[in-house]
Amino acid sequence: MEQVAKAGIRDQSGLLAKLMIAPAILYVTAMIGFPFILAILYSLSDITTGDPTLRLVGMRNFRDILADSVFRLSLKNTFFFAIVSQVLVILLSRVVATALMKEFRGKWLARFLIMLPWTAPIALGTIGWLWMLDSIFSPFDWVFRWLGLLGTPGALLGPQTNLYWLGVPSLAMASVIIVHIWRILPLATVIQLAGLSSIPKDLLEAAEVDGATPWRRTLEITIPLTLPIVSIAFLFGLVFTFTDVTVVYVLTRGGPVHSTQVLSTWTFFKGIEGGDLAQGAAISLFLFPVLAGVAAMMLRMARKSEVV
Amino acid sequence: MTNVRKRLGRGGLYTLVGSFAFFGAFPFYWMLIATFKRDHDLFNPVANPFLFNEPPTLDHLRLLLFDTHFPTYLMNTFWVGSYVVVITLLAAVPAAYSLARWAGGWGETLGIGIFLTYLVPPTILFIPLSRFTAALGLQESLWSLILIYPTFTIPFCTWLLMGFFKTIPKDIEEQAMIDGHSRLGAMFWVVLPLGISGILTVVVFAFTLSMHEFIYALTFISVSAKKTVSIGVPTELVRGDVFQWGPLMAGALIASIPVAVVYTFFLDRFIAGFTMGAVK
């Protein structure tokens, strides 16, 4: 008798479990899965905002965009910005995290200030940078002029009064990378902090007692033990910078002359502003192989950490 | 000797932390000072731009609050965020509980699967979704954002809540069921109150993530009075080609700081979700 009652509850639980998870699964399928398949269909069609009927045209869009030099440049830039910024972020975030592991007065304030670029809306933070990189009133230019590095004949950075941060391709690219670093550094720092604080203290102390130098302790204990979490910080940073629209859109809109154009902004300009939904979808799909790779790596790490 | 080294170490630490804090916060200082600078002072390439060279003014704030749609943007953002929070809770709380309690091995896999959809970027989705909203007649409507933002809040919040529910011992529910609660009743009256800190975290994140969102809002909304803060400030406070830097910086600062303060309080929990158990 008791057994039957138990089985009844268990059956009910199984049903409840499915009912309770259904809304989330439905939402995700309808609003992520279905549009994703539509994106693939669009990329094989000639759909535009003016003529939204779906006629398949094969690989024509992919041939067209691959022949387009702006697309190739934006593909290159996407990788370049994401990888350069994230390598620097990983190095810098280790430095910041090591410092924040120590106790000192005013730490909460330092932490709040260091985290600001991540906690404040990125579009608004980038607007601050836009004003800092202004062609005439940039404070960086003012400091260079003040130091005599700019604006006098024979000055190191040139005789002109301004550097035109967002008007010169190389400086515009550097600006985009710096803003990406600025934005992701806090996230990587807190992730690294979590990693550093998970290292058992007695392990480091034992190594110190055994005479291991700080270098050896870092190389043989800290780095191997925090590697999984550092990779997570790297992968997330990579995904965020790889797919980001906001920084480039607000700072340069891809200019000057497409020198900072990336896949996601080019998708927007082609697909939404230009109205060519099919080509836009095709461009955006070039992001997918990288994201799938990242997802696979994360899955593998999640599995591994479960085993440990 | 060690004392000297210790002092040097302290000095070095403060210099290091100080310079990174400066790097993080300088753009916000730059907004703050621009908010209160007179135009004549703001657009002066010669005078020291880091200080007030003329007495501060409230003109930019006045313009922002009374002559632009900025208050409307704040209200729009608030409504969108609130609805998104409600939808997220309705979908994520039961899903997370179900995954944490009943699902066993496949629960973990399904949970990771839901989490990974967080990695499918808006860049791939906004073009098909723009047809979706058009088909539903939601162009230029905040409802399009309310409908779409849960696509990134639900996966992440489900994952986060799953972790929270796992920390609540099963015995508590079993006891509640012995005391006469039904299975569902035990969840509702016993587990949810214990998971309230997790639910609060999710409320904060769903709200801040909707507030941070840029590209969907940029794609779906172009009528000024319907914009959220995130797109209204960068796109509307520009008259023609002229940036109104004073009000622009004031708007960016006012909308940034409160959300940053709240977010900071919950940051560690957010990160615990991010690291997916890579740290035990």
Q: Is B256 on the interface with A (CB under 8 A)?
A: yes
Alpha carbons A225 and A220: distance in angstroms, whole number: 8
Which amino acid appears at position B40 of this protein? H
CB contact under 8 A, B17 and A99: yes
Which of residues 29 through 48 in chain A touch B, CB cutoff 8 A? 31-36, 38-39, 42
Q: How far is A2 from chain B (nearest CA, A)?
A: 13
Angle of helix B245-274 relative to helix A169-197, nearest 10 degrees, comes to 40
pLDDT at B175 (0 to 100): 85
pLDDT at B3 (0 to 100): 64
In a domain, residue A63? The reply is no
CB contact under 8 A, A277 and B280: no
Which residues in chain A touch residue B125, judged by CB atoms under 8 angstroms apart?
Answer: 32, 35-36, 39
User: Helices in chain A by DSSP H: which ranges?
Assistant: 2-28, 34-43, 60-67, 69-101, 107-119, 122-132, 139-146, 169-197, 201-209, 214-217, 223-243, 246-251, 263-267, 277-285, 288-307
CB contact under 8 A, A305 and B277: yes
pLDDT (mean) for A304-308: 52
Residue that has been written with the tokens 């010169």 in this structure: A168
In a domain, residue A130? The reply is yes
Q: Work out the pLDDT band at A209, boundaries 50, 70, 90.
A: confident
**Residue A222 pLDDT greater than 70, yes or no:** yes
Q: What is the pLDDT of residues A226-266, one digit of tens each?
A: 888 888 888 888 888 998 999 999 999 888 989 999 999 99
Q: Residues B235, B227: contact at Cβ < 8 Å?
A: yes
What residue of A is the nearest CA neighbor of B276?
A: A302
Q: What are phi and psi of B269, to 5 degrees?
A: -70, -40
When divided into structural domains, chain A yields a total of 1
What residue of B is the nearest CA neighbor of A30?
A: B151
**DSSP-assigned states of every residue in A8-25:** HHHHHHHHHHHHHHHHHH
More confident residue, B237 or A94: A94
Q: Token digits for A85?
A: 């910024």
Q: Which of B127, B132, B161, B209 to mutate to test the interface with A (most CBs of A within 10 A)?
A: B127
More confident residue, B240 or A199: A199
pLDDT (mean) for A115-138: 91
Q: How far is B263 from chain A (nearest CA, A)?
A: 6
**Residue A301 pLDDT greater than 80, yes or no:** no
Whether the complex's predicted ipTM is more than 0.85 is answered with yes
What residue of B is the nearest CA neighbor of A137?
A: B45
Q: Which of B51, B76, B124, B132 to mutate to test the interface with A (most CBs of A within 10 A)?
A: B124
pLDDT at A85 (0 to 100): 95
CB contact under 8 A, A245 and B123: yes
Which of residues 237 through 276 in chain A touch B, CB cutoff 8 A? 239, 242-243, 245-246, 249-250, 263-264, 267-268, 271-272
Q: Residues A243, B123: contact at Cβ < 8 Å?
A: yes
Alpha carbons B49 and B30: distance in angstroms, whole number: 9
Neighbouring residues of A137: CB distance < 8 A, sequence distance ≥ 6:
A131, B42, B43, B45, B49
Residue A75 sits in a domain whose CATH number is 1.10.3720.10
Which residues span the domain enclosing A279?
A: 68-307
Q: Is B238 on the interface with A (CB under 8 A)?
A: no
pLDDT at A132 (0 to 100): 93
Across the interface, of A136, A142, A281, the residue whose CB is closest to B127 is: A281
Q: Which of B123, B262, B270 to mutate to test the interface with A (most CBs of A within 10 A)?
A: B123
CB contact under 8 A, A132 and B27: yes
Alpha carbons B122 and B151: distance in angstroms, whole number: 9
Under-70 pLDDT residues of chain B: 1-5, 8, 103-105, 239-241, 273-280
**Residue A5 pLDDT greater than 50, yes or no:** no
Q: Token digits for B100?
A: 């944490």
In a domain, residue A36? The reply is no
**Residue A2 pLDDT greater than 60, yes or no:** no
pLDDT at B149 (0 to 100): 94
In a domain, residue A13? The reply is no
In a domain, residue A171? The reply is yes
pLDDT at B240 (0 to 100): 60
pLDDT at A125 (0 to 100): 93
| Residue A134 exposed, middle or buried by CB count within 10 Å (0-12, 13-18, 19+) | buried
Query: Which domains, and CATH codes, for chain B?
Result: 2-57 (no CATH), 61-274 (1.10.3720.10)
pLDDT at A308 (0 to 100): 38
First-last CA distance in chain A: 42
More confident residue, B166 or A78: A78
In a domain, residue A228? The reply is yes
Angle of helix A122-132 relative to helix A107-119, nearest 10 degrees, comes to 100
In a domain, residue A52? The reply is no
**Residue A307 pLDDT greater than 80, yes or no:** no
Give the torsion through C-alpha atoms of A223, A226, A229, A234, to 10 deg: -10
In a domain, residue A180? The reply is yes
pLDDT at B244 (0 to 100): 84
Alpha carbons A33 and B249: distance in angstroms, whole number: 39
Which of residues 177 through 236 in chain A touch B, CB cutoff 8 A? 182, 185-187, 190-191, 194-195, 198, 228-229, 232, 236
Q: What is the pLDDT of residues A31-51, one digit of tens each?
A: 898 999 999 999 999 888 888
Q: What is the pLDDT of residues A270-288, one digit of tens each?
A: 988 888 889 999 999 998 8
CB contact under 8 A, A23 and B28: no
Alpha carbons A183 and A126: distance in angstroms, whole number: 9
